[in-house]
Amino acid sequence: METLLAVDSLSVSFPVGDHWVPVVRGVSLDVGAGEFVGLVGESGSGKSMTAYAILRLVPDPGRITGGRILLDGEDLLGLSDARMRSVRGARIGMIFQEPMTALNPVFTVGFQITEAVRVHHRVSKREAELEAVRLLDLVAIPAARQRLEDYPHQLSGGQRQRVMIAIALASKPDLLIADEPTTALDVTIQAQILELLERLRRELGLAVLLITHDLAVVAETCARVVVMYAGQVVEEAPVETLFAAPAHPYTRGLLTAAPGLGRPGARGELATIPGQVPEMARLPTGCAFHPRCSEVMDECARENPDVYPLSSEHRARCFLHGTPASRSEAS
């Protein structure tokens, strides 16, 4: 599969007092053309900030402090702001987590979609309106032409999310980044949105990077999954491999704790991962997960492990799969 997006050693930092605190720490991941990839982790793991960095939308006063972001081999970090704006619209679309925040409440749905179309395509107002109807049909909004006159508050949560997807598709992007697109939606609507994203991927040849904390969502949609913790990638694998043989203790904890995936205890309770994601300004020494890990070793508190390959498609950042001694011997 041809690589569309390649993120290499990406770092993002924010100033705290007189020093900079990294919130994304050397993240590397890739998305193939037409591939559906999940980016998973608890709140605060750096998932959304990674997406904002890909789009070069890191909020001030944050800064991208290292790495490369290659789209079809072109480093987005080397582009001018004007050139990046065209890439952001034409090549990469974004579905934000909360459509009521992302959609402008004082403009109709039709106005917002047609404006998105006209920003990226030299068409008349009439042609843009026809394209807006086509996009609403594409995302399965019923009575699409009539809905052009509706305001966001007149639509259901699921319909607003579909409108956001229609706006993201207005530029005919190659990559769609979906940041928690099913949050706050009921289970039935969640399933419909995920089915829609998969259908669009299949029919339009889109690549999709799905950001979520929900492994059940990943299981239903993604071909491959990247797991993040405390700003770093801790595991990456095809979905079937990850669910059958998770290699990082954090991934195993997520699977055990996931409703519908985990195994209830004696009292019917799901297991939990003890503790919480550390503050990025107060990371523990060594492996950031070691204070919560049930398989912790002495070296875990002293040194942050490298990423170790388990196969050509599976890697994990954990001393269970390599040690400082073994690395020294290999070199």
Task: Determine the Cα–Cα distance for residues 184 and 160; give it in Å rounded to an integer.
Answer: 12
Tell the CATH superfamily of the 3-91+173-330 domain: P-loop containing nucleotide triphosphate hydrolases (3.40.50.300)
Question: From the centroid of its chain, how far is CA 295?
Answer: 28
Domain ranges, ordered by start, for the chain: 3-91+173-330, 105-171
Lowest mean pLDDT among 35-39, 210-214, 225-229, 287-291: 210-214
Residue 113 has pLDDT above 90, yes or no: yes
Q: Which amino acid is at 267?
A: R
DSSP 277: P
Strands 92-95 and 308-309, how do they pair?
unpaired
Structure-block tokens of residue 198 = 């998969």
Residue 325 has pLDDT above 60, yes or no: no
CB atoms under 10 Å from CB of 166, counted, come to 25
- CA Rg value for the chain: 21
Share of the chain above pLDDT 70, in %: 94
Unique residue bearing structure tokens 């996009």? 135
Whole-model pTM?
0.91
Most confident of 181-185, 219-223, 323-327: 219-223
pLDDT at 260: 65
CB atoms under 10 Å from CB of 45, counted, come to 26
Instruction: Supply angle C-alpha 55, 61, 65, rounded to 5.
Output: 60
